[in-house]
A and B are shown apart, each in its own frame.
Chain A
Amino acid sequence: MDKNKYNLLVKKYTPKESRLYNGLIAFIVGGLMGCLGQLLLTLYSYFLEIPTKQASVFMIITLVFLGCLLTALGVFDKMVSFSRCGLIIPITGFAHSMQSAALEYKREGLVTGIGANIFKLAGTVIMFGVVSAYFFGIIRLIFMGG
Chain B
Amino acid sequence: MTFTYDNVYLNATSTITGPYEAQGPFNKLYDKSYNDLYMGMKTWEQAESKILVESVDFVLNKVGKEKNNIDIHISGDLLNQIVATNYASVAIGIPLIGIYSACSTSVLGLILGSNMISSKQIKNCIVSTSSHNNGSEKQFRQPVEYGGPKRKTATFTVTGAASAYLSNDKGLIRVESATIGKTIDLGITDSSHMGAVMAPSAASTIYQHLKDTNRDISYYDLILTGDLGIYGKKILKEYMQVEYHINLPNYDDTACMIYDLERQPVFAGGSGPACMPLVVYSYILARMRKGELKRVLLVATGALLSQTMVNQKKSIPSISHAISLEVGNDLS
Contacts and interface: CB of A to CB of B under 8 A. Distances in A.
Contact of A88 (B144, B148, B152): B148
Contact of B239 (A1, A14, A17): A1
Given A1-B239, A6-B200, A78 B186 contact: no
Contacts of B151: 17
A71 B187 CA distance: 37
A15 B145 contact: no
A96 B147 contact: yes
B264 to A, nearest CB: 14
B292 to A, nearest CB: 30
Interface string B140-161: 0011111111111100000000
Interface string B115-158: 00000000000000000000000100011111111111100000
Interface stretch (A54-62, A79-87, A126-134, A135-143): A79-87
Interface string A33-48: 0000000000000000
A96 B200 CA distance: 38
Given A76-B147, A100-B146, A3 B239 contact: no
Contacts of B239: 1, 6, 9
B143 A120 contact: yes
A21 interface: no
B278 interface: no
Contacts of A10: 188, 193, 196, 235
A53 interface: no
B144 A104 contact: yes
B137 to A, nearest CB: 9
A78 B265 CA distance: 11
Contacts of A22: 149
Interface string B232-254: 00110011001100000000000
A103 B145 CA distance: 8
B138 A104 contact: yes
A63 B33 CA distance: 39
B231 interface: yes
Contacts of B263: none
Contact of B152 (A17, A87, A103, A121): A17
Interface of A is mostly: helix
Interface in A57-105: 71-72, 74, 76-81, 84, 87-88, 96-97, 99-101, 103-105
Contacts of B234: 13
Contacts of B187: 3, 6-7
B42 interface: yes
B147 A14 contact: no
Contacts of A120: 143
A88 B142 CA distance: 14
Given A13-B231, A14-B231, A100 B152 contact: no
Given A9-B239, A9-B242, A100 B143 contact: yes
B43 interface: yes
Contact of B145 (A9, A71, A84, A88): A71
A117 B209 CA distance: 45
B152 A15 contact: yes
B60 to A, nearest CB: 30
Q: Which of B186, B187, B200, B242 has the most chain A CB atoms inside 10 A of its CB? A: B186
A99 to B, nearest CB: 7
Interface in B157-193: 186-188, 193
B42 A107 contact: yes
A77 B145 contact: yes
A99 B145 CA distance: 8
Interface in B206-225: none
Contacts of B43: 107
Given A71-B145, A77-B145, A81-B147, A13 B238 contact: yes
Contacts of A99: 145
25 contacts: A7-B186, A7-B188, A9-B239, A9-B242, A10-B235, A14-B193, A15-B231, A22-B149, A76-B145, A77-B147, A80-B149, A81-B147, A81-B148, A81-B150, A97-B146, A100-B142, A100-B144, A100-B145, A101-B146, A103-B143, A103-B145, A104-B138, A105-B143, A121-B142, A121-B146
Given A1-B242, A7-B187, A15-B153, 10 more contacts: A1-B200, A3-B186, A6-B239, A14-B196, A76-B147, A80-B148, A100-B144, A100-B145, A104-B143, A107-B43
